[in-house]
Amino acid sequence: MKEIREPTFLVLVALADGRRHGYGIIQDVERLSNGQTTLRAGTLYATLDRLTSEGHIEEAGEEIVDGRLRRYYRLTMRGSAMLESESKQRLAVSKEALRRLSRPSGRRPRLAPGFA
């Protein structure tokens, strides 16, 4: 399975605890990334269309709120499996990074001047 890009990963995480509408996904992605990832509507809906066509998410209802259509999405079993696999891979890499950083100071790589 190929690695998924960060915005796609965050969209899947946003949907992991239940259905959400587009604006709710945008808000949750921004919160999950501590403000580092801000999705624009065009990017979000292109991602949602792609994930839907790949079978990772599906539409989960619609409603009209303040005269505007609100469409909801949720993970499919396939999307949940992909998110779980990707999350485990990212966790393993993060653990390895922390392990390497915790080596005794005598074994740490030397930083170039100006990077201390």
Question: What is the per-residue pLDDT across 66-111, written as a single tens digit (0 to 9) for each?
Answer: 999 899 999 999 999 999 999 999 999 999 999 999 887 645 566 6
6-99 belongs to CATH 1.10.10.10:
yes
The answer to whether 83 and 3 are in contact (CB under 8 A) is no
Sequence-distant (≥ 6) Cβ neighbours of residue 108 within 8 angstroms = 101
Q: Is the pTM of this model over 0.85?
A: no
How do the domains of the chain map onto residue ranges? 6-99
Mean pLDDT value across the chain: 89
